[in-house]
Amino acid sequence: MKITLLLTLSCLISLTGAAIAAEIIQIEGSTTVGPIGGAFAEKFMQMHPDVAITVKKTGSGDGAAAIVDGRCDIAMMSRFMKAKEFENAVKNGIFPVAHVVANDGVCVIVHPSNPVKELTTAQVRDIYNGKITNWKQLGGPNLKVVSISRDTSSGTYETFNKLVMKKEKMAGNTEYVNANPQAHARVKSTQGAIGYVGLGFLDSKVKALKIDGVMPSRKTIAKGIYPVSRPLFLFTNGYPKLGSSVHEFCTFYLTETGQEIIESKGFVPLTEY
Amino acid sequence: MSMMLRKITDKSFTGLAGFSVVLIIMALAVVLGPMIWIGATAVVFKGTVEFRELQYDLHQRGDRGRLKSETSEVEKVRKKIYAQIDQFKRGIDTESLVAESRKKYREYKIFLKSQNLPDEQCDKLEDNAKEIRNTLADVYDSTDKDTIIKTLDELFAAYPAKQFEHTPVAEMLAAAHDYQTVARTIDLSNREKYAESLAEVQERLTKLLGPRPGEDKPALIMEQYGATRWDVAQKQLKMILWIEDWEETEPGKPMTKKLTPRSNQFAGTTLESFFKNLETDLPNLLKPQREFYWQYFIDDSTEGYYYGGVGPEIIGTLLFTVMGMLFAVPIGIISASYLVEYAGDNIIVRTIRICVNTLAGVPSIVFGLFGLVFFVKVLMPALGYESKPCILTGSMTLAILILPVIIRASEEAIRSVPLTYKEASLALGAGKFRTLVKVTLPAALPGILTGIILSLSRAAGETAPLLFAGAIAVGPIPESILEPSRVLSYGSYDIAVGDRYASMVPHKQFGMVVTLIMLVLCLNIVAFVIRSRVSRNLRGQ
């Protein structure tokens, strides 16, 4: 047993010795932007075998905290940085620079059996702040409204809170779930449910509603006609050094491959390639 | 009477105990059964030709010659399917038809120039082609069925295709011919509706069969292949064959689901038979075959865990667990020995004991945040390393998480060593330290090992402490302990919160969870064997 222990120890020590051959880019942040980061990483590492990329998806807030602490090289965020986060960053000698990589819409979804097709932002707000409690009030069936929201640390929540709720408080009986797939799954299985997810999560199992008469789609989001559209960000400390791997990664969305990846991951590319 | 009562209590207790054992076994079966069942499909499943292609492209696995003959066979069947779609598309997508005839006309002009014909003949041929092109443009724009058929018939009569054999014009006429066939069968005013449905069919077909040969290769590996598994293929097929619709039965009630065959949409057209063909030909299109994908345990996965295995995750989990043990076990045993053998029994020792017990009940996310704040932000810079989460910080976080369990178990084990052992050792002239190392600890080892086994399983399965202190979702296999690593527990969490595609591959998530269970089981078995060997030695056998 002692011998095995010694062997493991020496293995680990030799591991430390052989370290730092490849360049490592650490990426952290939003679960929404995560699939883009991950997919970019896959392609990027194929193109540059000497660069290692790690991606961690914990939420926009954590991404911001990580770049502020200097714990990561690139932070993924589905909202812009807050004033407080900027302040802390500058105090730490870090100057966050935003790169917009794609656009996304926050789509309001209901169970497909729900005959309601269209809502205004005011109506959605009334549902979430508890003024509307039954679909009957909106011309739908006699069903209790079950409102599903994302957790308050998510960037999607922030966008929804700012653009739809106008920072009004949500009703006490709102259910909070901590990722897009959960919100989707909850709405899919509950007849009276209403929730909101990113554009990429729309499928035949849930029904997206027109908001203020606009259907969320690539076109309406790219042009900003859809009222709950938002850009998705990568943040770096200062503008990355030209020609560096981080710079290439942050501008990867401009290449045709990058745009194709963004589209196939269900987001809206910035340009029409 | 009291005898009777005693018997009844006895019997009822036995019954109750038996019942609870049955309940536990049932609960285990209900929880683990489906998990293991679905998880096993990550390794044993019906793989399609796409799977074998992927395996060959990515890992050079399988027999090249056999694969080649297989793909060429499949290609033949697929060609028919694609041809049927292409032909129908001719009647729908008029814009590209107009563009194509323009292009062919231009090609024909260049062709004529290269032929060195007399000017007069050349002009005439060019005029003819122009005439054909213009007529076709009109026909493609029109939605009047009779006019289209009539005009085309006249055109074919005036310019027999033979006259233009082997020239671009012949291709132009062939396209027009296809268009005529389709135009006979479809309602031309509904062109847009057909086009929409066709686009969906084509999109699904790409997911089923992969990108068409000759098309550009998509950037992500995930999209370079069709359905690699027979069960996924059947899901896709269902979505091609059936349209899910919701319709109102009565006002004020929720709508009800209705499935209609998609072929109804194309009723009467040349595409109607396509759906039937696709269904019957599917085995020939994909050639399913039972696969035993044991490499699941060593392969890397593609982004979003869509294809591939859990190799890096297994390595990461082992690294974190073993490293955590290396930190926790020595510290735990030493402090337990101190608390029992040296510290005596006073208020400070009792306080420490209460603290250790409380620590064992602290939620694991608290340790995770502590690891982030102390190990990552304070310790790493103090040691002269970058302040970034890595295996070292993660395993130290795990170590403090399992430390209380190890201390508690070791304390109990050391305390239960018979006093006579120690007395015998002391009587022979051994010091206190020597007695501890040579007599007490070896005698307590089986008990200590039990504590280690318990904490080992816990360390391997924890997500929260590693969330901030060293685990990642995407990344290569670590080359040193100063790099972060993927782990099984965080991986299955990431599938649950991650991508929209993750819901397409439930077997990957279950596979990961089952792998974790198996890994813990293996670690336990190893520890178990060590423990039984130690206690056998102790008994002097």
**Nearest CA-CA distance, residue A264 and chain B, Å:** 9
How is chain A split into domains, by residue range?
22-103+231-264, 104-222
Pull the structure tokens for residue B239: 């979505």
pLDDT of res. A22: 67
Pick B504 or B124 by higher pLDDT: B124
* Chain segment A210-225, per-residue pLDDT in tens: 998 889 888 888 888 8
Best CA proximity match to A198, nearest among B31, B499, B330: B499
> What average pLDDT does this structure show over B35-39?
88
pLDDT of res. A273: 57
pLDDT of res. B495: 84
The top-scoring range by mean pLDDT among B282-286, B309-313, B474-478 is: B309-313
Q: Say which residues have a Cβ less than 8 Å from residue B99's Cβ, sequence separation at least 6.
A: none
Domains A22-103+231-264 and A104-222 share a fold: yes
Q: Say which residues have a Cβ less than 8 Å from residue B59's Cβ, sequence separation at least 6.
A: B295, B299
Query: Would you call B480 and A39 a contact, using CB atoms and an 8 Å cutoff?
Result: no
Contacting residues of B for A9, CB less than 8 Å apart: 326
pLDDT bin (cut points 50, 70, 90) of residue A60 is confident
- Closest A-chain CA to B529: A1
Q: What is the share, in percent, of chain A residues with pLDDT greater than 70?
A: 91
Query: Phi and psi for A204 in degrees, rounded to 5?
Result: -75, -10
Number of Cβ within a 10 Å radius of residue B13: 10
Tokens 């694969």 identify what position? B67
Query: Would you call A181 and B498 a contact, using CB atoms and an 8 Å cutoff?
Result: yes
| CA distance linking residue B219 with residue A245, whole number of Å | 19
Contacting residues of A for B256, CB less than 8 Å apart: 113
pLDDT of res. A8: 53
Distances (CA, A) of A159 to A9, A79, A103, A222: 49, 7, 13, 16
Number of Cβ within a 10 Å radius of residue B27: 10
Query: Would you call A113 and B304 a contact, using CB atoms and an 8 Å cutoff?
Result: no
Pull the structure tokens for residue A207: 């029904």
* Chain segment A96-147, per-residue pLDDT in tens: 999 999 999 999 999 988 888 888 988 999 899 888 888 888 888 888 889 9
Contacting residues of A for B484, CB less than 8 Å apart: 26, 54, 56
Out of A11-25, B7-21, B166-180, B485-499, which region has the weakest mean confidence (pLDDT)? Answer: A11-25
CA angle A204, A150, A115 (to 5 degrees): 35
> Helix (H, G, I), strand (E, B), or coil: what is residue B216?
coil
* Chain segment B135-150, per-residue pLDDT in tens: 888 888 777 777 888 8
Query: Would you call A35 and B304 a contact, using CB atoms and an 8 Å cutoff?
Result: yes
pLDDT of res. A20: 47
CA angle B433, B437, B442 (to 5 degrees): 150
Phi-psi category of A132—alpha, beta or left, where left has phi over 0 and alpha has psi -120 to 50? beta
Pull the structure tokens for residue B45: 């499943």
| CA distance linking residue B130 with residue B137, whole number of Å | 11
Name the residue among B256, B322, B497 with its Cβ closest to that of A181: B497
Q: Which amino acid is at A249?
A: F
Contacting residues of B for A141, CB less than 8 Å apart: 252-254
Give, for A149, the enclosing helix (H) or strand (E). strand A146-150
Contacting residues of B for A257, CB less than 8 Å apart: 219
> Helix (H, G, I), strand (E, B), or coil: what is residue B212?
coil
Burial class of residue B64 (count of CB atoms within 10 Å of its CB; 0-12, 13-18, 19+): exposed
Best CA proximity match to B386, nearest among A173, A127, A25, A222: A25
pLDDT of res. B413: 92
Q: Is B249 on the interface with A (CB under 8 A)?
A: no
- pLDDT over threshold 90, residue B14: yes
Q: Which amino acid is at B358?
A: T
* Cβ A252 vs Cβ A258: under 8 Å: yes
Contacting residues of A for B479, CB less than 8 Å apart: 15, 18-19, 21-22
3-state helix, strand, coil in chain B (%, to 5): 75, 5, 20
pLDDT of res. B267: 76
Question: In order of start, what are the domains of chain B with their CATH numbers?
Answer: 75-191 (no CATH), 311-538 (1.10.3720.10)
Query: Would you call A19 and B221 a contact, using CB atoms and an 8 Å cutoff?
Result: no
| CA distance linking residue B523 with residue B470, whole number of Å | 22
Burial class of residue B388 (count of CB atoms within 10 Å of its CB; 0-12, 13-18, 19+): buried
Contacting residues of B for A70, CB less than 8 Å apart: 387
Q: Which amino acid is at B206?
A: T
pLDDT bin (cut points 50, 70, 90) of residue B273 is confident
Query: Would you call A112 and B256 a contact, using CB atoms and an 8 Å cutoff?
Result: no
Tokens 């027979």 identify what position? B230
List the helix and strand counts (H, then E) for chain B: 21, 4
Question: If contacts are CB pairs under 8 Å, which of residues 491-520 in chain B contact chain A?
Answer: 494, 496-500, 502-503
Query: Would you call A71 and B376 a contact, using CB atoms and an 8 Å cutoff?
Result: yes
| Positive/negative CA dihedral, B214, B217, B223, B224 | positive
pLDDT of res. A11: 52
Record: fold of A22-103+231-264? D-Maltodextrin-Binding Protein; domain 2 (3.40.190)
Query: Phi and psi for A121 in degrees, rounded to 5?
Result: -60, -35
What DSSP string describes B135-175? HHHHHHH---HHHHHHHHHHHHHHS-GGGGTTSHHHHHHHH
Mutation pick from B500, B509, B532 vs chain A, by most beta carbons of A within 10 Å, is: B500
Mutation pick from B256, B303, B452, B509 vs chain A, by most beta carbons of A within 10 Å, is: B303
Pull the structure tokens for residue B10: 């006895």
Tokens 């019957």 identify what position? B280
* Chain segment B383-405, per-residue pLDDT in tens: 888 888 889 999 999 999 999 99
> What average pLDDT does this structure show over B56-85?
86
* Chain segment A224-234, per-residue pLDDT in tens: 889 888 899 99
Q: Quick one: DSSP state of residue B501?
A: G
Q: What is the ipTM of this complex?
A: 0.82
> What average pLDDT does this structure show over A2-11?
50
Q: Is B474 on the interface with A (CB under 8 A)?
A: yes
First vs last C-alpha separation in chain B: 50
Q: What is the share, in percent, of chain B residues with pLDDT greater than 70?
A: 99
Number of Cβ within a 10 Å radius of residue B209: 25
Q: Quick one: DSSP state of residue B440?
A: I
- pLDDT over threshold 80, residue B501: no
> Helix (H, G, I), strand (E, B), or coil: what is residue B344?
coil
Superfamily of domain A104-222: Periplasmic binding protein-like II (3.40.190.10)
Burial class of residue B385 (count of CB atoms within 10 Å of its CB; 0-12, 13-18, 19+): middle
Name the residue among B472, B482, B496 with its Cβ closest to that of A181: B496
* Chain segment A143-171, per-residue pLDDT in tens: 888 999 998 888 889 889 988 888 888 88
Rg, C-alpha atoms of chain A: 22
